Amino acid sequence: MSDQKKFSIARPSFNGNEKAYLLDTIESGWISSIGPYIERFEQEFARYHGVKHAVATHNGTIALHLALAAAGIGPGDEVIVPDFTFIATANSVRYCQAAPILTDIDPDDWNIFPEAISENISSRTRAIIPVHLYGNPARIREIMSIARKHDLIVVEDCAEALGAEYDQKKVGTFGDIGCFSFFGNKIITTGEGGMCITNRDDLAERMRILRDHGMNREKKYWYDFPGFNYRMTNMQAAVGLAQLEQIESLLSERDLILSHYQDAFSGNQMIVTQDHHNQRNVNWMFTIRLKGITEPGRDDLMNKLKEKQIDSRPAFYPIHRMSFYQTGGFIRSIPENSIRISSESLSLPTYIGLTREDIDYIATRVKEAIHVV
Ligand SMILES: Cc1ncc(COP(=O)(O)O)c(C=O)c1O
């Protein structure tokens, strides 16, 4: 019965070759960052995106750092990032001793948008990181034209948006580099894991070297500059390859969950979701905005859901609210939309296995709670 069921916010889905491939790595002894699954996963990931290179990393945060480091972002540089995103987007810029400029989002699609980006460009701006938040593509074509006009690097943060498309082209293939995460709650998972994709040979080569301590490609154990150990393990890649083999069904099952939620909430004026401009969004984590209910009311609602065994998650807090982003000139104007949408929004359980009955149950509990908050 739904009443007894516990609904977590996310769950991985392993219905393919995950166990067989993982066992293979253990039996072969190739468990660290050398082994056939790494190359196969990289090749298949590149093929899926129709790009030349894919460089696997140990997680999505360092994929972003690797991309920025390979692009030469460094001290004194500014990088435009959304104020409304997961903290790693902004932190990756700081790992390069550069300044993330926290930029407001569009109130309808919740992503950074061309006008706000243009306002924040200065003589120090070197790059933009558009995030396709909650699986919803940012207006990447227009963002790319601004970037080309100002000669800026674009690193797309696609951590939550594997499989999403803009004008029938996959996100991550517009910018200079696209970065992905394979954390346990992502579209595909490797436990922890990440990937950088690019069509640029120079950036791919630089990322491969930096990922491996900066080791010279011709001369083993000779280092030309201080790099990192950002490598993915063969065990992670084995799971990743098995997951990628199922990408179409994983996405379509998530689409079904999205349409059940949309049906369940349809007609309720108070509840809004991201506008996806008729683009191919992916249902990473179904997130609703409760118009007019602010943070305390939203948190109250989350507590009520918890009493009914339903986990939920507050939307990301605006990055500029974190103590270590409050000084240092990271915002140029108050990001009003980021503040409002963050405080009014929450994510609901989104994982394969949720039935229409489960979703109706969850949506009914949300609607009941709204009437009493
Ligand atoms: C938008 C965004 N960027 C970056 C990351 C970082 O990925 P990871 O958790 O794999 O380090 C995440 C993952 O949670 C994310 O949601």
Q: What is the pLDDT of residues 305-333, one digit of tens each?
A: 999 999 999 999 999 999 999 999 999 99
* Ligand 1 within 6 A of CB of 342: no
The predicted pLDDT at position 4 comes to: 61
- Do residue 215 and residue 352 come from a single domain? no
Amino acid residing at 92: S
Contact status, residue 195 vs residue 180, Cβ threshold 8 Å: yes
Per-residue pLDDT tens over the stretch 204-233: 999 999 999 999 999 999 999 999 999 999
Cα–Cα distance, 89 to 319 (Å, whole number): 10
241, 232 Cβ separation under 8 angstroms: no
Q: Which two tokens stand for residue 242?
A: 């098995």
Pair (181, 269) in one structural domain: no
**Which tens digit of pLDDT belongs to each residue from 33-74?**
999 999 999 999 999 999 999 999 999 999 999 999 999 999
DSSP state of 315: P
Query: Do 207 and 184 share a domain, yes or no?
Result: yes
Residue-level pLDDT at 53? 98
| Ligand 1 binding pocket mutation candidate from 62, 89, 181, 196 (most atoms within 8 A of CB) | 181
Q: Cβ-count burial of 333 within 10 angstroms (0-12 exposed, 13-18 middle, 19+ buried)?
A: exposed
Residues 235 and 253 in one domain: no
Q: Is the CB of 271 under 6 A from ligand 1?
A: no
Q: What is the CATH number of the domain that holds 69?
A: 3.40.640.10
pLDDT band at 294 (very low <50, low <70, confident <90, very high): confident
Identify whether the C-beta of residue 96 lies closer than 8 Å to the C-beta of residue 74.
yes
Among 132, 231, 232, smallest CA distance to 187 is for 132
Q: What are the φ and ψ backbone dihedral angles of 270, each rounded to 5 degrees? A: -75, -25
CB of 85 sitting under 6 A from ligand 1: yes
Task: Report the SS3 class of residue 323.
Answer: helix
What is the 37 CA–ligand 1 centroid distance (Å)?
23
**What's the number of domains the chain is made of?**
2
**Closest ligand 1 atom to 64 CA:** 4
Distance from the alpha carbon of residue 177 to the mean position of ligand 1, in angstroms: 15
Quote the tokens at residue 347.
């994510």
Last residue of a domain, one of 244, 267, 292: 244
Ligand 1 centre to CA of 192 (Å) is 10
Give the residue-averaged pLDDT of 347-357.
98
Q: Does residue 264 sit in the same domain as residue 229?
A: no
Q: Is 10 domain-assigned?
A: no
Question: How many angstroms separate the alpha carbon of residue 28 from the centre of ligand 1?
Answer: 31
Q: Given the structure tokens 């696609």, which residue do they identify?
A: 158
Q: Is 61 in the pocket of ligand 1 (CB under 6 A)?
A: yes
Q: Tell me, using a 6 A CB cutoff, whether residue 120 lines ligand 1.
A: no
Percent of the chain clearing pLDDT 70 (strictly above): 98
Rounded mean pLDDT, 281-297 = 95
From 229, 244, 259, the end of a domain falls on: 244
The answer as to whether 44 is a domain residue is: yes
Q: Which domain holds residue 288?
A: 247-372
Residue 76 and residue 99 in one domain: yes
Helices H / strands E in the chain, number of each: 12, 13
pLDDT, position 2: 46
Query: According to the model, what pLDDT value does residue 51 have?
Result: 98
**C-beta of 180 in contact with ligand 1 (< 6 A):** no
Structural domain contains residue 11: no
- Note whether 147 and 223 are same-domain residues: yes
Q: Average pLDDT in the 73-83 region?
A: 98
Sorting pLDDT into bands at 50, 70 and 90, what band is 372?
Answer: very low
Domain assignment present for residue 270? The answer is yes
Domain final position from 195, 222, 244: 244
What is the CATH classification number for the domain harbouring 301? 3.90.1150.10
In a domain, 6, yes or no: no
Whether 259 and 345 share a structural domain: yes
Examine residue 1 and state whether it is found in any structural domain, yes or no.
no
- Per the prediction, the chain carries an average pLDDT of 96
104 — pLDDT class (breaks 50, 70, 90): very high
What is residue 127's predicted lDDT score, i.e. its pLDDT?
A: 98
Judgement on whether residues 62 and 177 belong to the same structural domain of the protein: yes
Which residue is associated with the tokens 């004026």? 269
pLDDT in tens, 235-263: 999 999 999 999 999 999 999 999 999 99
Cα atoms in the 13 Å half-sphere on the side-chain side of 118: 10
DSSP for 270-297, written as a single string: TEE----TTSB---SS-EEEETT--HHH
CA 11–ligand 1 middle distance (angstroms): 16
CB 194 less than 6 A from any atom of ligand 1: yes
Query: Is the shortest distance between the CB of 82 and ligand 1 below 6 Å?
Result: no
> What confidence score (pLDDT) does residue 180 get?
99
Q: Report d(CA 153, CA 151) in Å as an integer.
A: 7
What one-character-per-residue DSSP string does 126-153 give? EEE--B-GGG----HHHHHHHHHHTT-E
Answer whether residue 13 is part of any domain.
no
In the chain, the amino acid numbered 184 is: G
- Ligand 1 centroid to Cα of residue 2, in Å, is 31
Point out the ligand 1 atom lying closest to the alpha carbon of residue 85.
Answer: 1
Ligand 1 binding pocket mutation candidate from 9, 57, 59, 61 (most atoms within 8 A of CB): 61
* 34 closest CA partner among 193, 220, 236, 189: 236
Same domain, 100 and 195: yes
Are 218 and 281 found together in one domain?
A: no
Q: Kindly state the DSSP code that residue 231 receives in the 8-state scheme.
A: P
Residue 7 lies in a domain: no
In a shared domain, residues 252 and 230: no
Amino acid at 154: V
181 in contact with ligand 1, CB cutoff 6 A = yes
Query: In terms of DSSP H, where are the helices of 29-105?
Result: 36-49, 60-70, 87-95
